[in-house]
Amino acid sequence: MSEISLLSALLAGVLSFLSPCVLPLVPAYLGRLSALRSGESPVLHALLFVAGFTLVFTLLGLGAAYAGGALAGLLPAIQLPLGIAVAAGGLHLAGFVRIPILDRSAAPRAVNAAGRLGSLLLGLAFAAAWTPCIGIVLGSILALAATSSDPVGAAALLLIYSAGLGVPFVMIAIAAARGGSRAPRILSVLRRGTPAAGRLGGVLVALIGVAISAGLLPLLARYLPGLPGL
């Protein structure tokens, strides 16, 4: 896996957090943190929440890598349509084209389980009911994983993506643990960056699609040092 792929995954994770699909969920996330029992650490619950969706995404990455390895002989044939589909999703996300079916959303079901297990389950539900507009970004990262044949590298790619998405959740939990109005102020600042994040994320996804369709990923991996095997 080249460094450019890992950097793309990290940036995609951060942009996913700032997207119109995720950022509106943060107030509910803050509400859960504020409702914790006395003595419970918001940061610990944030880490459990992040661990939940990281587990799901990493398993998806492993599955994509194994599927790509099994279909290695077909990759040259499917590389172009796969890249075009990813690029089209990116242009939709950036607002340059409209693809109505991608505007449909599916909100995660509420998880009412209390305690630490509840936070972990909430992270699992958050990933399982991922909304389509974030699915565009996640799909581009899974496409990168599928075009490789190294499960370890694919898992690393999805771990990096999850880190980019999860770190802001943990930082907000740290602010919430300190009390006051720090967390709402941070959320207000982040909301102002949502439109730009959508456009930038869409452009990033489109570029990943172009790289996949043109077969540039192996070339980048050859000239840029990164993880072995990809």
For 124-140, how does the pLDDT look when each residue is reduced to its tens digit (9 = 90+)? 888 876 655 566 777 77
| Residue 120 falls inside a structural domain | yes
Residue 183: which domain range?
3-223
| Residue 229 falls inside a structural domain | no
- With b for 16 or more beta-carbon neighbours within 10 A and e for fewer, the 54-64 pattern comes to bbbbbebbbeb
**DSSP secondary structure, 95-163, as one string:** TSS--GGGG---PPPP----HHHHHHHHHHHHHHT--HHHHHHHHHHHHHHHT---HHHHHHHHHHHHH
What pLDDT, on a 0 to 100 scale, did the predictor assign at position 166?
Answer: 92
| Residue 204 falls inside a structural domain | yes
**DSSP secondary structure, 11-75, as one string:** HHHHHHHHSTTTGGGHHHHHHHHHTSPTT--HHHHHHHHHHHHHHHHHHHHHHHHHHHHHTGGGH
What are the CA-CA distances from residue 226 to residues 151, 153, 162, 205, 211 (Å)?
15, 10, 19, 20, 17
| Residue 228 falls inside a structural domain | no
The pLDDT-based confidence of 49 (bands split at 50, 70, 90) is very high
| Residue 75 falls inside a structural domain | yes
| Residue 230 falls inside a structural domain | no
What pLDDT, on a 0 to 100 scale, did the predictor assign at position 193?
Answer: 66
Phi first, then psi: what are they for 229, rounded to 5°? 100, -15
Predicted confidence (pLDDT) per residue in 63-105, tens digit: 877 776 666 566 666 678 877 887 887 787 777 887 776 665 5
The pLDDT-based confidence of 225 (bands split at 50, 70, 90) is very low
The pLDDT-based confidence of 55 (bands split at 50, 70, 90) is very high
| Residue 216 falls inside a structural domain | yes
| Residue 79 falls inside a structural domain | yes
On the question of pLDDT at 148 being above 60, the answer is yes
Total domains in the chain come to 1
Average pLDDT of the residues in 216-226: 49
On the question of pLDDT at 173 being above 80, the answer is yes
The pLDDT-based confidence of 149 (bands split at 50, 70, 90) is low
